[in-house]
Structure 1
Amino acid sequence: MRPSPADAETPPPVPRPLLASASPPSPAAKENRTLPSRHQRVRDADGFLGTALYLGPVASAKNAEEVYVGVAWDDPTRGKHDGSVICRRTNRLIRHFSLADRAKHLSSSAGDPRPASVSGGSFVRPAKLRGGVSLTSVLSDRYVPLDAPLLTRNNVLPGRVAMTARGVPKPIELHGEVQIRRRQQVLASDRPGEAPPRLEKIGLRGMFVARMWDEGEAERGGGRYDHLAELDLAGNMLWEWDEAFRVLQAMPNLEALVLSGNLVRDLALGHTAFTGPFPSLRRLVLNTCNIRSWRTPLTLLRRLPNLKELLLAHNDLRDLLDVEKEDTPKNAKNACPHLTFLDLSDCDLTSWDQVLCLDPLFPNLETLVLDENSLADLTTTTTPEHSKDPKTPAPYFSRLRALQLSHNRIADWSVVDDIHRRLPSLRSLRFRHNPLTADLGASEARAAVVARCPSLECLNASYITTKERTEAERSYVRRVVRRLDAAAAAERAEILREHPRYETLARTHEDDLARCRGKAFGRGTLGEEAVNVLVRSMAVDSITAEPLHRRLPGSMEVGRLKQMCRRAFGLDVERIALHFKSQNDPIPIALEDDLCTLSYYGVTDGCEILMNEKELTKG
């Protein structure tokens, strides 16, 4: 019987590094051939990437002294086990490494039938693994110098032909090769009078870059890259922060650096090498870098005094609040005055306290992205330092203009009210896929948010027009009025607490409210209350049917209108859902209560009534 992982024995000690034979990917780019270190990124001959988590003999191997590398592959289907094997000598389970050390984005989701803890690991001979190439070797391969041999002869590519429609081969011509090379020079020249390189933005995604220099290259002077402004190294093999700092040192005028997908992990506590600062960098992208502590971004920020944009999506920053409480000195709270954009999507945040502690650290923050976390509200257990009255909601992030809260756990409308009250400068909000709006149509949910947040100018990447806001506020007031009219006296105060903007909006739209209430209570003659409406079917089986033009009394109940729709369109009453929209209101309003009248809902002359088919709940 296979022993449990808890019974796993301690593996033998790691031997000294050995040399491994690995063929380079190109004549110029030489890959690291030494035995990888723990946590170093490696790849096989087919280009599959992984992380070395163990170095040494394997208990199940025939040769007990042969050295293997325990690899956790990025693609779990590439592996065979979870890092444990059955010992040939004792027949007991021995764990050499654990897949729990995998990066966050490599862990299986809740819906994955095969958990990441049982797959994705392999033991590989060192000779079959490669440690990546230097950035300089990739640059020399990709951007050849001006004096390199030309590919063309008399503007013709040798050995390259294209077939015409008649099957006649035609040589392929390339014109302007020298001019193209001149525009793509990446290495500055020391020759007097020669123009500086024009290339300022470089993208090297997925090129297996693991370090800045080849061995001894930095001591020989390396190269000059002062002119480069943007560098994209996403999806490469960097795994140590020292190499990232070497890139910044070699490119002192770099303004944007993308390191997404490089599993560089966390900076070691007390790390002092390459302290910087690096004042030119304005944008740093560290999405999916296997960062597991807020200490790493905090340490980086102190070395990047002029950083404006920081992207940290898909990392584990759940210790954010603890780090800010324990390790942040009070005199460093305003250490990042230039940062205006911060992305913390999918960073395992569960409390607004974790977010609020960033307020004093980033006093000029304008855009905050918090998508795909587990935030449920904006309540906090601490009182902000700038709060003068504990009874008055204190404002957060005084300069924040854009907030993204999609894919969180917000389930109460009071959170939307707090967004309006506590974020005074907010003008743009993204609020999709929260439990609060799960049972609402897109237009209905949008109207409710617009009505509750008067300062918003853009919702879910769509601008709010004056007309849309007016109609949304009127619909909001009508819904609250219906609740107040149907509620007992003791319940009215609670309803008003749930809708803090109602009284203000009721005064703003007093004429519309009086007109709707007058019709609801039957004031006026029958002729004055009658409305001309268009009844249209949106159900699948009758969507092509001719719409009904009817003049209906305002005192007609919704239940009677459903009976009329049943006779006209052949849909059972229990499956009918009715909505109406006016000529000036693009947002349909549900006619929910069969006992309420058309006037009660504010159906006016010229409205369109839409009949939809709803699914009946089973059981």
Structure 2
Amino acid sequence: MQHVLPATGSRIYLPSGHFGTVKYFGPLDGTTGLWLGVEWDDSARGKHDGMKDGKRYFDCRVPHSGSFIRPSASICYGCTFLQALKNKYVEAVHGTASQEKIVLGSSNGAIEVEAVDLDKIRGKFSNLERLREVSLDNEMVSSGNNPGEILSTCPNICGLDLSATLLSSWDVVAMITTELPQLERLALNRNRLTPPSSHLPASVWLRLSEVQLNGTWTSWEEFTSIAILMPQLRIAELGYNGLTSLSCAKISTVLDRIEILNFDSNKLEDWQHISEALKPCTSLQRLILSSNGIERIPPRGSCPSHLQDLKVLSLSSNKLHNLRDIDQLYEWCPHLETLSLAKNPLSEVNDLSRSARQQIIAKIPSLRVLDATAISTKERSDSELYYLSFVTKTVPGDDEAKMKEHPQWKMLCMSQCLGSTESLLYLPSLLLCARAR
């Protein structure tokens, strides 16, 4: 690890477990010596937003996440990619002895056994050219290596996890990954990366199909500017990024290939805005919107739905409280097959009440799985019969009144009339539907 003073924008790590970004280096009025102005990843570690005694020294993206600390040898400024790789995957040989004593980790030091030819095993694992999947999560990578070194050392990496490192910019990420020609999956969770420069080569992420940017505070606009360089991108994760909207100045045409988007634990509360913003994502099949504070699904009306081909949707841990929202959800997503709604006010404790579950199943004819539980043919039939009975008993008036409150009612009447004579006895109101046919 190097112990030199960092440049502004560098990432640091303290032994206490805190990551931060250097936003200022220099003197403070009224003090002696030099200070580091740091924006901490964990805002609870901060004391201010870069202002001291009325003078601003730096800005913070997250309010109240900054503080000043003295430069210290205990601060970690990171290491190169290959240093981290060798530290984790290359174990030094122990000598010529054919037998070694090792302690079984699961025995808490109580069991010691003899192992034979461990150096041969170490040698096999130290062949970095064989590596396909690499995790350097929390390994403090801060920079690449000299041109060609990574390519000659580990050219066959297909999946790479660089989460919670000291990488400071997309340019540094590109310096590393441009020498990994087989790279398809890249995790950069819990980093803080400045946007890429305009001179990055168009070939930098040609094969990349999955990118994870959870907890990076990457905006939608920043993401779309990066996605331009990822023509094979299919899966993108942007959870825990503080997103309040998905508006952006430029929309990348590459978004039309994305099949899975994960926005878990953001602040995307406006369903109609989400639909409009995802218009370019014409191949989208799965959308994760858990824990975003969504309170309602508005009627679609004349608004075009850009989510009509969606098959998998997670809305768990939001604020949906009205079963009418489910009717409207089906208008927006008529091909929905898998839905998660647990931990909404619609539910009781952690599971949807039986009544609510039956109504949701009846309201969305295309649904096959609800809250990780498959919907059997019998459960669907029972749910639809229950729903029809419920509507008949609780909604006064004629068919038109029932249709207004429950859009699926007439269709289900027709379906039950066609599918089961027993249902006619169970629900006398279905006779009216049958005659209407």
* Deviation (angstroms), 1:502: 1.1
Is contact 2:234–2:257 with CA below 8 Å preserved after alignment?
yes
1:354 maps to 273
Question: 1: distance between equivalents of 2:280 and 2:29?
Answer: 50
| 1:327 maps to 2:254 | no
1:367 maps to 286
| 1:136 maps to 2:136 | no
- Indicate which of 90, 101, 106 corresponds to 2:61: 101
1:36 maps to 7
2:390 maps to 479
- Indicate which of 205, 225, 243 corresponds to 1:278: 205
1:414 maps to 324
| 1:496 maps to 2:407 | no
Compared CA separation, residues 83 and 398, structure 1 to 2 (3 A): closer
| 1:431 maps to 2:401 | no
Query: What whole-Å deviation, never above 9, does each CA across 1:97-118 have from its counterpart, x for those lacking one?
Result: 45x423xxxxxxxxxxxxx73x
Compared CA separation, residues 171 and 47, structure 1 to 2 (3 A): same
Secondary structure class of the residue paired with 1:278: coil
* Deviation (angstroms), 1:507: 3.5
1:231 maps to 160
Matched-pair identity in %: 22
1:173 maps to 115
Is contact 1:308–1:339 with CA below 8 Å preserved after alignment?
yes
- Indicate which of 227, 231, 240 corresponds to 2:169: 240
1:170-569 correspondence runs (5 A): 172-186=114-128, 197-213=129-145, 217-218=146-147, 223-265=152-194, 267=195, 271-291=198-218, 293-321=219-247, 323=248, 326-328=249-251, 333=253, 335-379=254-298, 394-437=304-347, 442-484=353-395, 487=396, 489=397, 493-510=400-417, 511=421, 514-516=424-426
* Deviation (angstroms), 1:237: 1.5
1:72 maps to 39
Question: 2: distance between equivalents of 1:176 and 1:233?
Answer: 29
1:46-61 correspondence runs (5 A): 46-61=16-31
* Deviation (angstroms), 1:135: 1.0
Question: 2: distance between equivalents of 1:370 and 1:161?
Answer: 46
Secondary structure class of the residue paired with 2:336: coil
Compared CA separation, residues 275 and 380, structure 1 to 2 (3 A): farther
Secondary structure class of the residue paired with 1:136: helix
Is contact 1:36–1:131 with CA below 8 Å preserved after alignment?
no
Q: Which has the larger displacement, 295-304 or 505-514? A: 505-514
Is contact 2:311–2:337 with CA below 8 Å preserved after alignment?
yes
Runs of 5+ in structure 1 lacking a partner? 1-23, 25-30, 87-92, 103-115, 187-196, 382-389, 520-619
Compared CA separation, residues 255 and 122, structure 1 to 2 (3 A): same
Question: 2: distance between equivalents of 1:254 and 1:47?
Answer: 30
1:572 maps to none
Query: What whole-Å deviation, never above 9, does each CA across 1:32-73 have from its counterpart, x for those lacking one?
Result: 6233313x3212345532222322212342x2xx11002233
Secondary structure class of the residue paired with 1:407: coil
How many residue pairs end up in the alignment? 422
Compared CA separation, residues 415 and 169, structure 1 to 2 (3 A): closer
Compared CA separation, residues 32 and 378, structure 1 to 2 (3 A): farther
* Deviation (angstroms), 1:398: 4.4
TM-score if structure 2 supplies the norm length?
0.84
* Deviation (angstroms), 1:137: 0.8
* Deviation (angstroms), 1:175: 3.0
Structure 2 residue identity aligned to 1:252: P
Compared CA separation, residues 220 and 315, structure 1 to 2 (3 A): closer
1:544 maps to none
Is contact 2:90–2:122 with CA below 8 Å preserved after alignment?
no
Is contact 1:478–1:513 with CA below 8 Å preserved after alignment?
no
Question: 1: distance between equivalents of 2:369 and 2:111?
Answer: 57
Compared CA separation, residues 203 and 221, structure 1 to 2 (3 A): closer
Query: What whole-Å deviation, never above 9, does each CA across 1:325-383 have from its counterpart, x for those lacking one?
Result: x423xxx54x34432111122332232343223544222221111112133444489xx
Compared CA separation, residues 221 and 180, structure 1 to 2 (3 A): closer
Compared CA separation, residues 32 and 306, structure 1 to 2 (3 A): farther
- Indicate which of 98, 101, 104 corresponds to 1:155: 98
Question: 1: distance between equivalents of 2:282 and 2:324?
Answer: 26
- Structure with max Cα Rg: 1
* Deviation (angstroms), 1:453: 0.6
1:27 maps to none
Compared CA separation, residues 299 and 470, structure 1 to 2 (3 A): same
Structure 1 residue identity aligned to 2:87: D
Compared CA separation, residues 150 and 170, structure 1 to 2 (3 A): same
2:433 maps to none
TM-score if structure 1 supplies the norm length?
0.61
Query: What whole-Å deviation, never above 9, does each CA across 1:2-33 have from its counterpart, x for those lacking one?
Result: xxxxxxxxxxxxxxxxxxxxxx3xxxxxx362
Secondary structure class of the residue paired with 1:357: helix
Is contact 2:244–2:266 with CA below 8 Å preserved after alignment?
yes
* Deviation (angstroms), 1:448: 1.4
Question: 1: distance between equivalents of 2:151 and 2:306?
Answer: 48
Compared CA separation, residues 505 and 74, structure 1 to 2 (3 A): same
Query: What whole-Å deviation, never above 9, does each CA across 1:374-409 have from its counterpart, x for those lacking one?
Result: 33444489xxxxxxxx85x75533432111112223
Secondary structure class of the residue paired with 2:217: coil
- Indicate which of 59, 65, 69 corresponds to 1:123: 69
Question: 2: distance between equivalents of 1:120 and 1:157?
Answer: 50
* Deviation (angstroms), 1:128: 4.3
Question: 2: distance between equivalents of 1:169 and 1:343?
Answer: 45
Is contact 2:12–2:166 with CA below 8 Å preserved after alignment?
yes
Structure 2 residue identity aligned to 1:137: Q
Question: 1: distance between equivalents of 2:371 and 2:399?
Answer: 32
Considering only aligned residues, what root-mean-square deviation do their CA atoms show, in Å?
Answer: 3.4
Question: 1: distance between equivalents of 2:403 and 2:144?
Answer: 63
* Deviation (angstroms), 1:427: 0.9
Compared CA separation, residues 353 and 394, structure 1 to 2 (3 A): closer
Question: 1: distance between equivalents of 2:288 and 2:97?
Answer: 54
* Deviation (angstroms), 1:157: 3.6
